[in-house]
Structure 1
Amino acid sequence: MTPGRPSSTGGEASRDWATVLDELEGEVLAAESSLRSDRDDEIAAWGRRAEDWIPPSPALGPVPEDLRERAARLLQHQLAVAEELVERIIQSRRQRDVAARMSYGPPRPVASYIDRAL
């Protein structure tokens, strides 16, 4: 038993951790759905999120043994989605920068011919 942590039964801790993992998984699936929908505004919104994930209360204790494999798979899924989000945001910024240079660049001079024979 760790000082400062109440002892809990394995079933109670598993249930609480299962809820935490369910919420995290929902976030990852929502982010992945935005990526698959190809809606740039939603993808960019994921990159601008200001709220960070707050870890569960220390009273929750370590992840129970029966949920560790699920937590590890979820972490790998989160990392893959985060990497794809970063790649898409970078790609979008590059495309925006190229489009801005093309749209707002100085106009090319136009050739003018004057017939002096008149």
Structure 2
Amino acid sequence: MTGDRPAGGAPSVDWSTVLDHLEGEVIAAEQTMADGRAEEIAAWGRRTDDWVPPSSLGPVPDDLRERAMRLLQHQLAVAEALIERITQSQRQRDVAARMSYGPSRPVASFIDRAL
């Protein structure tokens, strides 16, 4: 999340850029679910890094607070949907694992013999 670098070499990051990046990630997660790409959906669920805001930014400016709150609600909704999809996928895998793909059981045969 580093923006353009000014002449001094320090990254130029502001809250608007940070929110843009976070929105992009939420949209990417939604697109992954919409496309039904199971492995990518599972990868979203395996993410373990918590997001930590850049320490140099300070609090969210007043003019961006509403946007940040909407983004948080959107993130929570997408996270809930991801959890649901991952849970469904695990259930489907469990059912598939219990299914037998071996040879079928013998079927009773009746032979009519005239006496």
Bucket of the pairwise TM-score, normalised by the shorter protein? 0.7 to 0.9
Question: By how many angstroms is 1:21 displaced?
Answer: 0.6
Counterpart residue type for residue 23 of structure 2: E
Counterpart residue type for residue 51 of structure 2: W
Aligned residue runs from structure 1 range 1-118, under 5 A: 16-57=14-55, 59-103=56-100, 108=105, 110-111=107-108
Q: Which runs of 5+ in 1 are unaligned?
A: 1-14
Higher relative contact order (CA 8 A, sep 6+): 1
Identity %: 76
Counterpart residue type for residue 24 of structure 2: G
Q: Write the deviation string for residues 35-73 of structure 1: whole angstroms up to 9, x where unpaired.
A: 11111111111111233312221x311110000000000
TM-score (norm 2): 0.76
Counterpart residue type for residue 22 of structure 1: D
Q: Write the deviation string for residues 68-91 of structure 1: whole angstroms up to 9, x where unpaired.
A: 000000001000100000000000
Structure 1 segments, 4+ long, off by >2 Å, are 103-117
Question: By how many angstroms is 1:99 displaced?
Answer: 0.8
Q: Between Structure 1 and Structure 2, which shows a larger proportion of helix residues?
A: 1
